[in-house]
Amino acid sequence: MLMQGSNLESVGSNLKEVSLPKLTIDSTVIGIDLHKYSHTAVALNCLGEELSRLVFSNDELDECVEWLSGLGSKESLLVGLEDTNGHGLHTANRLEKEGFSLIYVPPVLTERARKHSVHKDKSDLLDAKRVGKVILHRSEETLPATPSIAQEKQIIREIDLLLQERSDLIKEQTRLKNQLHSLLHQCFGNNYRKGFKDIFSLKALAFYSASLKQQSEPSPLARSIVRRIERLKLVFGQVKEIDSALRKESRDVPSIGKLQSNLRGCGHLTACKAIAEIVQIGRFKTCHKLAKYSGAAPVIKGSGKSRRLHTNRHGNRKLNQAIHTIALSQIGIASLPEAQIYYQKKLSEGKSKLWALRCLKRQITNRIFNILTD
């Protein structure tokens, strides 16, 4: 289960690597700050000096393409985008179709650039410049923009939208359950949970709803409970519908099935979550890059002879959560012997349970990289 770094050489030849465009002295970097109705683009030379600027909308993409073409050859242009799936989806798709090199710049990098600047001003123009300067000065922390590399990009985007909707529904489901716990206790007393193993099963909800509706004059409390029960049943149905849609959509993304069938503790939903964030494993040259991206790799802080590891609280938190779920499953329900032995070994070394779990998450990240590059 646990893959060591030396094993990466055997899978390197199978990896379809997607590299960032090379930054040279002749390169022109374009930073684009994307919004719903208006986008701001700034062109910078290799020294970070402004060459040109443009404000355009999604209805003026022809003008953007013409402006970019006037800045030089496509081989010398590097276009940085903060958002390639939300407000920037139309721009990213059009520029990718025209053959421009797109780079994804994590918003956290531009936000840090503003916070660490002497000038704290914020505007669309300044944000666009910061996007460009991140490419110039911190290119190792950027990634190829996903629309330009994912063959199944539209399917994965649809899966991501379904996952976002499902997440919102689960939050609403939890909120309604917490409210019903309190209201049912007020209405039925301490015995409201007796008789049902799960008070939120459809059978239990039907019983509570029928009991309250049988009252000759239902109280405001009873009517409130019935309304919440109806909403909860609607949420149950929509979550079930989304799960069915996810299973259908994921059939066209081989990496999801590959991850689910080869990684113990990784169910279908978790595999969908992981692939929705990774998109294409070719974006990452090594498992170390993937670990940094997911936040599974610790932050190293050293000075002189002192060197300490700290928890990485950054990275892609959605991907990190998916890996966390796999780790808990491997040492729990899924009961993977190799994972349990590794986890216990870290505990015997004096590490806390949480830190031992973090070590296991790093090994799982290596395994994910190995599976997807095999």
Q: Domain with 70 in it: what CATH number? A: 3.30.420.10
pLDDT confidence bin for 191, thresholds 50/70/90: confident
Q: What is the pLDDT of residue 15?
A: 37
Q: What is the pLDDT of residue 4?
A: 38
User: 286 is in which domain, residue-wise?
Assistant: 254-373
Mean of the per-residue pLDDT values of the chain:
85
Q: Does one domain contain both 131 and 212?
A: no
Q: Does one domain contain both 200 and 115?
A: no
d(CA 69, CA 136): 20
- C-alpha angle with apex 102: 47 to 152, nearest 5 degrees? 165
d(CA 364, CA 218): 54
Range with lowest mean pLDDT among 64-78, 266-280, 293-307, 347-361 = 293-307
155-162 contacts, C-beta under 8 A, 24 or more apart: 155/249, 155/252, 155/253, 156/253, 156/275, 156/276, 156/279, 157/85, 157/89, 158/249, 159/246, 159/249, 159/250, 159/253, 159/272, 159/275, 159/276, 160/85, 160/276, 162/242, 162/245, 162/246, 162/249
265: left (phi over 0), alpha (psi -120 to 50) or beta: left
The fraction of the chain above a pLDDT of 70, given in percent, is: 90
Please give the average per-residue pLDDT across 66-92, as a whole number. Answer: 84
Q: Is residue 3 part of a domain?
A: no
Q: Of 133, 148, 163, which residue sits at a domain end? A: 148
Range with lowest mean pLDDT among 28-32, 110-114, 181-185, 224-228 = 110-114
Q: Does one domain contain both 169 and 126?
A: no
pLDDT confidence bin for 20, thresholds 50/70/90: low
Q: Does one domain contain both 237 and 307?
A: no
pLDDT top residue among 242 and 8? 242
Q: How many CB atoms lie within 10 A of CB 315?
A: 18
Range with lowest mean pLDDT among 137-141, 176-180, 323-327 = 137-141
Q: What is the pLDDT of residue 143?
A: 63
Please give the average per-residue pLDDT across 74-82, as a whole number. Answer: 88
pLDDT of residue 86 exceeding 80, the answer is no
Q: Is residue 72 part of a domain?
A: yes
pLDDT tens, residue by residue, 51-63: 999 999 989 999 9
Please give the average per-residue pLDDT across 279-295, as a whole number. Answer: 87
Q: What is the pLDDT of residue 273?
A: 95
Q: Does one domain contain both 339 and 365?
A: yes
Q: Of 102, 126, 148, which residue sits at a domain end? A: 148
Instruction: Provide the number of structural domains found in the chain.
Output: 3
Q: Is residue 10 part of a domain?
A: no
Q: Is residue 230 part of a domain?
A: yes
The model's pTM is 0.72
Token readout for 291 is: 């670990």
pLDDT confidence bin for 3, thresholds 50/70/90: very low
Q: What is the pLDDT of residue 150?
A: 43
pLDDT of residue 154 exceeding 80, the answer is no
Q: What is the pLDDT of residue 138?
A: 77
Q: What is the pLDDT of residue 264?
A: 93
Q: Does one domain contain both 126 and 230?
A: no
pLDDT top residue among 358 and 218? 358
Q: Does one domain contain both 174 and 240?
A: yes
Q: Is residue 4 part of a domain?
A: no
Q: Does one domain contain both 296 and 365?
A: yes
Q: Does one domain contain both 32 and 141?
A: yes
Residue with tokens 């079930």: 240
Helix axes 89-97, 61-69, angle to 10 degrees: 50
Please give the average per-residue pLDDT across 86-97, as a whole number. Answer: 83
Q: Of 250, 274, 300, which residue sits at a domain end? A: 250
Q: What is the pLDDT of residue 21?
A: 63
Q: What is the pLDDT of residue 69?
A: 92
pLDDT of residue 7 exceeding 60, the answer is no
Q: What is the pLDDT of residue 200?
A: 94
Q: Does one domain contain both 192 and 282?
A: no
pLDDT of residue 189 exceeding 50, the answer is yes
Please give the average per-residue pLDDT across 18-23, as a whole number. Answer: 63
Q: Does one domain contain both 174 and 274?
A: no
pLDDT tens, residue by residue, 105-135: 877 777 777 777 777 788 888 889 988 888 8
Q: What is the pLDDT of residue 149?
A: 43
pLDDT of residue 148 exceeding 60, the answer is no
pLDDT of residue 91 exceeding 50, the answer is yes
Q: Does one domain contain both 126 and 54?
A: yes
Q: Is residue 8 part of a domain?
A: no
Q: What is the pLDDT of residue 140?
A: 67
Please give the average per-residue pLDDT across 270-279, as a whole number. Answer: 92
Q: Is residue 22 part of a domain?
A: no
The fraction of the chain above a pLDDT of 90, given in percent, is: 50
